[in-house]
Structure 1
Amino acid sequence: MNDSPADEAIARVHREEWARVVAGLARRFGDLDLAEDAAAEAYVAAVERWPRDGVPPNPGAWLTTTATRKAIDRLRRESHRDLKHQAAHMLSDDTPHEPTGPVEDDRLRLVFICCHPALAMEARIALTLRLLGGLTVAEIARAFLVPETTMARRITRAKAKIAAARIPYRVPSTTDIRQRVAGVLAVIYLIFNEGYLATAGDDPVRADLTDEAIRLGRLLRVLLPDDGEVIGLLALMLLADARRTARVSHAGELVTLDEQDRSAWNRNLIDEGHTLVRERIAAVAAGAEPPGRYQLLAAINAVHTDAPSSRDTDWSQIVVLYDRLMRLDPSPIVRLNRAIAVAELDGPAVALADIDRLGDALDGYHAYHAVRADLLRRVGRSAEARTAYGRAIELAGNPAERAYLTRRRDQLVG
């Protein structure tokens, strides 16, 4: 059954306008719960009215206006509280009541609020994914490999702490920005990753999220033009997103990097990403701080996208870059990704010995079992590979990835 034009419009506007509506309400009121609830009520109103009355000429403005009225109505119902009454008056007045910061973008300000140092790092990332990215609690929980109830409590506590601390709705001062930028970068990268390979839902790739993450990365670079990690993250996202159209087949199956049609890659994004990587290499050579995590990941992606084919990839350089990354971030996932490169350089048996040591840490991570299955297949241990593919399929939330893993499992002989 096909969706009606109103249903399609509501779905599209939710993707495109959710963060803008929530962030605008948060700026005007200063209450994240109220902003989120009022935005949700506006979307409910759209579901009820648009099929009957038609889609408005400017759906985003309609939702913003409706959500603002919902917020004002709620505040007036609670106007016996002096503070709430003052807030309701503020909402009905469009005059700014305090400076909002040097960047006129509500969503970027919302990122900095959610990344306030009063919050634990995991809470900062989760809250921003919910309010800015519009991800469901279930999607965020999958990204963090934790139960949904745990993530719901984490988000609730984070919003309560922001309210209790009376954190202002503005981009922080230059001094404070440096303290918060690591959390902001982590937030943007997780939003990008959820779009790059969605953990749930019917769409294997969510271009709305990758586009939003890149947009935020560009804005952050305007704010911090000399920050190497800001530049590194933007380059990383551009180089990864350049492969978007080649990553899923017409049949809806994931296409791995070695099998992708490289002529379908977006050369403009690749050229821009390479330019940023070279800019950072020159800066480090001139005495800038050594490259951080995102700069190293961008450099790895630059090597991949520089090769005309998979067999031409400079795997030795990639292993060297992963070795440098390991010194900064010796996490199991970095070790897993390094092992993939080691398999191309030293053979699958060497890589398999490396990742077998990661089983306890990554047993709930589908990519671990997928990589292990491929290595087992390559060394001829088909029965074990079939079991590993089955575990990866069980854990994978992305439909294109499940289709790919299922085909590879079914191709095993013996």
Structure 2
Amino acid sequence: MAEVEAVWRIESARIVAALTRFTGDFGLAEDAAQEAVAEAIVSWPMAAPANPAGWLMATARRRAIDAIRRRTALHDRYALLAADAVADSAVDDDIDPDRIDDDILALMFVSCHPVLSPEARVALTLRVVAGLSSEQIARAFLVPVPTVQARITRAKKTIAAAGVPFALPPAGERRERLGGVLSVIYVIFTEGSTATSGDRLLRPDVAYEAIRLARTLAALQPEEPEVHGLLAAALSGPSD
């Protein structure tokens, strides 16, 4: 269980982002990735894979293909996905843990899309970008687990209904929406460093996730001074 959780926290954004690009369906991608994690919890204790990240990616892709296959209206897309699964099988077995690409940046912009409420943006970002479970998010913000699950479900439905594409916004629009992404990370860090409720003022694990998100964004958007400013403020703030 601990090994699965550790790999998922590191690789979740890349896996969900890649599946979203392949399927064109953000909700399906996240569901397929979660199914792969559930399967890993059962199978890894018996036989741990040599490449855990590749195993999760390949398994999640198979789950996505199975789901699309059941949707009779999407046979053409299924055929394309099946071809991609064969063509990219070598990639699944050779995932570079240090690679940061535009897929993850696109995932951050989708999860922080202005069509979502602020609460939904935070929950979705922690779930699909940071890789936290609904239980972990609920503990961090001291809300019931069903509340977090409902926010995530509504967020995915809202994104689908609004037709939000999985793609980096154009440069001008990206600049306009960057503030929304930064505000989500800031809210997460603030909750970790000065909790708004509960008997603990500091929640280092939550603050750490905010710093990790800020570092990822800074690596993806190195030319944006606001990103580096937020990261510097987070690193200099209280964390324990």
Give the stretch that moved more between structures: 162-171 or 122-131.
Answer: 122-131
Alignment correspondent of 1:218: 218
User: Contact between 2:134 and 2:148, CA under 8 Å: does it hold in 1?
Assistant: yes
Alignment correspondent of 2:91: none
Greater RCO, 1 or 2 (C-alpha within 8 Å, sep 6+): 2
Does residue 16 of structure 1 match 2:10? Answer: yes
Give the counterpart letter for 2:209 in structure 1. L
Alignment correspondent of 2:81: 91
Q: Residues 94-121 of structure 1, C-alpha deviation per residue, up to 9 Å, x if partnerless?
A: 48xxxxxxx8332221010122222223
User: Contact between 1:138 and 1:148, CA under 8 Å: does it hold in 2?
Assistant: yes
Against the structure 1 CA distance between its residues 231 and 212, is the aligned structure 2 distance closer, same or farther, given a 3 Å change threshold?
closer
Residue 172 of structure 1, CA deviation: 0.4
Against the structure 1 CA distance between its residues 17 and 89, is the aligned structure 2 distance closer, same or farther, given a 3 Å change threshold?
same
Residue 173 of structure 1, CA deviation: 0.8
Against the structure 1 CA distance between its residues 18 and 233, is the aligned structure 2 distance closer, same or farther, given a 3 Å change threshold?
same
Q: Distance in 2 between matches of 1:76 and 1:59?
A: 26
User: Contact between 2:22 and 2:81, CA under 8 Å: does it hold in 1?
Assistant: yes
Residue 58 of structure 1, CA deviation: 1.2
Does residue 44 of structure 1 match 2:38? Answer: yes
* Correspondence for 2:50 among 37, 57, 68: 57
Q: Distance in 2 between matches of 1:128 and 1:118?
A: 14
Other structure's SS at 1:51 match = coil
Against the structure 1 CA distance between its residues 141 and 230, is the aligned structure 2 distance closer, same or farther, given a 3 Å change threshold?
same
User: Contact between 2:13 and 2:107, CA under 8 Å: does it hold in 1?
Assistant: no
RMSD across aligned C-alpha pairs, in angstroms?
3.1
User: Contact between 2:29 and 2:64, CA under 8 Å: does it hold in 1?
Assistant: yes
Sequence identity percentage: 46
Q: Distance in 2 between matches of 1:194 and 1:17?
A: 24
Q: Distance in 2 between matches of 1:17 and 1:144?
A: 23
Task: Flag structure 1 segments of 5+ consecutive residues without an equivalent.
Answer: 1-6, 96-102, 248-414
Aligned positions of 1:85-234 closer than 5 A? 85-94=75-84, 104-141=101-138, 143-144=140-141, 146-192=143-189, 205-206=204-205, 209-210=209-210, 212-222=212-222, 225-227=223-225, 229-234=226-231
Aligned positions of 1:12-411 closer than 5 A? 12-53=6-47, 55-78=48-71, 80-81=72-73, 84-94=74-84, 104-141=101-138, 143-144=140-141, 146-192=143-189, 205-206=204-205, 209-210=209-210, 212-222=212-222, 225-227=223-225, 229-240=226-237, 247=240
User: Contact between 2:49 and 2:55, CA under 8 Å: does it hold in 1?
Assistant: yes
How many residue pairs were aligned? Answer: 221
Residue 143 of structure 1, CA deviation: 4.9
Give the counterpart letter for 2:116 in structure 1. L
Task: Flag structure 2 segments of 5+ consecutive residues without an equivalent.
Answer: 88-99
Q: Distance in 2 between matches of 1:107 and 1:127?
A: 14
Residue 160 of structure 1, CA deviation: 0.7
User: What is the TM-score of this pair, normalised by structure 1?
Assistant: 0.47
User: Contact between 1:19 and 1:134, CA under 8 Å: does it hold in 2?
Assistant: yes
User: What is the TM-score of this pair, normalised by structure 2?
Assistant: 0.77
Q: Distance in 2 between matches of 1:35 and 1:195?
A: 28
Q: Distance in 1 between matches of 2:185 and 2:80?
A: 31
Q: Distance in 1 between matches of 2:144 and 2:2?
A: 31
Q: Distance in 2 between matches of 1:48 and 1:139?
A: 20
